[in-house]
Structure 1
Amino acid sequence: MAPLPLPPAWTGPLPEAAPPGDMALYRLPTGTYETRAAFAFKGGSFGDRRRFAATAVLVRHPGGDLLIDAGFGSRVEQHIRSLPSYERSPYEPADSARTQLDAGGYDRADLRGVLVTHAHWDHVSGLDDLRVPVLINAGELEYAGGHRGGRVFRDVAGEHKITEYRFDGPPYLGFPASFDVYGDGSVVVVPAPGHTTGSVVVFVALPTGARYAFVGDLTWQLDGIRRRAERPLMMRMLADVDPARVRADLLRVVALADVMHIVPAHDVTAYDGIPLLTD
């Protein structure tokens, strides 16, 4: 199948960032579930079974640590049972983010909150085990409060403090606005509505010079970046509130692929190179 048009590669300077020297990034894989590649991206094979990651990412920062998404929680079986039958897949749970934090000797008092890329079940199930604030924008809060895709969020987030942020910063890497979490350019959130009403991309700059784009579900697999392949039509209709916006933002990210690590939330291999907290 023909790929999406090739966007011009990003050739300008990257935005300035001054991450503190002791800032670090860790992955907390909380499990996987199985989906056929044919359902994940246009041109994927029906015989190609993919393990979709459910992984939280810990950002350690002296201004207060963050998790990007929460992965599977201790009640994931119940959360999956609450889904329509066509959304359920074989899955393999691993330790929750909370269990991994505790096993790594992490002081959860250092955790400022969980920044969700969007409110779907496989990104928020683990909130159930973490009594910390949820960082979310107004568009996603509206989606989570009323859309069928937010039902697990409504179940797990009831006891959490909701910290609402705004995109009051300047354009960032082709996106129209931004929110600088720490004010130093190390973690910058941009709006990428389309998959959900308020879904986002989270850019992270490390003191090593490495740059990451955690793109949530703009694409489910790195094939979407490498092949410039959006979701198949049926999955766009089922999964996205605005497929045209997803397509436009996917191409924005494709343009950045040569200058940073792109991490689709559900591609197991995209987390390679990010250390485990318990290593």
Structure 2
Amino acid sequence: MMTSKIHVWHTGQVYIDQAMAFQEKTWHPMPYTGWFRSSTKKRWMPVSAYLIEHPKGLVLIDTGWHEDMRTNPKKHLGWLTSTMFTGTLPEGQSVAERLQAKGIQNKDIDYVLLTHLHSDHVSGVKQVADAKHIITNELEWHAAQKDAGYIKSMWESVPINTFQLQEIPHGPYQLGYDVFQDGSLYMVYTPGHSKGLCSALVQTTKGWVLLASDVGYSERSWEQNVLPGVTIDKAAAQKSLDWVREFRKREDCVQVIANHDPSINEQVIE
């Protein structure tokens, strides 16, 4: 059995309106923007990334905030985006600093897997640009070139490659990517929040760990059936959330982790 060790890192925090995390019914046409909304509705949430020590190589899932968030967040995010949310990145918490602390160079990373290309997941990708492979779903890549909600400057000049969806035994559509072609690490196609959103499914000695990215923003999402406040396809988002809920009930599912869940502490899952 191929098993892995998963390092759960918080690479800073993001300050958002609660309606971005948890869809709500309101008179406001775009409550997730936080525009004309009280500060009592704003929340700090972690921005997570994951290092997987896999028997076949080192894998980084998402890249958290770039260190530019410490010095000039408005420039890094762009004016419009910075009116909707911002972030903080304490010293030592960037992906680059985390890797350095473990004695890992960028060129030692076999795969950087980008679940999707929203800013809080891809912001730090330039700091790991020398990794052997940086990949994302081709549907997400094409959407990011033309749709709103993406900041292309964050990955400018970074050699990002794409993978085509293939049949796998997991997921709401049973589509994704078998990273090592041995059934031990999958990118699982879970769209809705974005067009090509993928979760990561990792085999450990005790069973599966599902890193659900932004299918939901916390355990509350699948327990109470609350979609993210931003969805490009509500029906697909619901189908993906339903699958996460059902997968969590499996006896061989150890844990499901949402990227921004405040209740999730930094940890190592063996």
User: Which TM-score bucket, shorter chain as reference?
Assistant: 0.7 to 0.9
Distance 1:165 1:271 in 2: 31
SS at match of 2:166: coil
Letter matched to residue 22 of structure 2: F
Letter matched to residue 257 of structure 1: R
Maintained 8 Å contact 2:16/2:42: yes
1:160 aligned residue (154, 158, 161)? 158
Letter matched to residue 67 of structure 1: L
Distance 1:196 1:127 in 2: 19
**Counterpart residue number, 2:249:** 258
Maintained 8 Å contact 2:219/2:257: yes
Maintained 8 Å contact 2:171/2:190: no
> Aligned pair in 2 of structure 1 residues 39, 200: CA closer, same or farther (>3 Å)?
closer
> Aligned pair in 2 of structure 1 residues 48, 190: CA closer, same or farther (>3 Å)?
same
Letter matched to residue 60 of structure 2: L
Which digits, 9 at most, give the CA deviation of each residue in 1:202-237, with x for residues without a partner?
A: 11111x224211111111122102212224xxx3xx
Q: What is the total number of aligned residue pairs between the two structures? A: 246
1:57 aligns with 2:50: yes
**Counterpart residue number, 1:19:** 2
> Aligned pair in 2 of structure 1 residues 211, 270: CA closer, same or farther (>3 Å)?
farther
Maintained 8 Å contact 1:218/1:249: yes
**Counterpart residue number, 2:237:** 246
1:228 aligns with 2:232: no
Give how far 1:158 is off.
2.4
SS at match of 2:56: coil
TM-score by length of 2: 0.81
Structure 1 segments unaligned to the other structure (5+ residues): 1-17
Structure 2 segments unaligned to the other structure (5+ residues): 26-38
1:185 aligned residue (174, 178, 183)? 183
Q: What are the residue-to-residue correspondences of 1:31-110 with 2, within 5 Å? A: 31-42=12-23, 47=40, 50-76=43-69, 77=73, 78-89=75-86, 91-94=87-90, 95-110=93-108
Quick check: which one's strand share is greater? 2
1:217 aligns with 2:214: yes
Which digits, 9 at most, give the CA deviation of each residue in 1:139-197, with x for residues without a partner?
A: 0110121222222xx21322222222122233415432231101222211121222111
Cα root mean square deviation, aligned: 2.4
SS at match of 1:117: coil
TM-score by length of 1: 0.79
Q: What are the residue-to-residue correspondences of 1:131-142 with 2, within 5 Å? A: 131=129, 132=131, 133-142=133-142
Which digits, 9 at most, give the CA deviation of each residue in 1:61-86, with x for residues without a partner?
A: 23221111000011221323444354
SS at match of 1:246: helix
> Aligned pair in 2 of structure 1 residues 32, 58: CA closer, same or farther (>3 Å)?
same
Maintained 8 Å contact 1:214/1:264: yes
SS at match of 2:260: coil
**Counterpart residue number, 2:36:** none
> Aligned pair in 2 of structure 1 residues 81, 150: CA closer, same or farther (>3 Å)?
closer
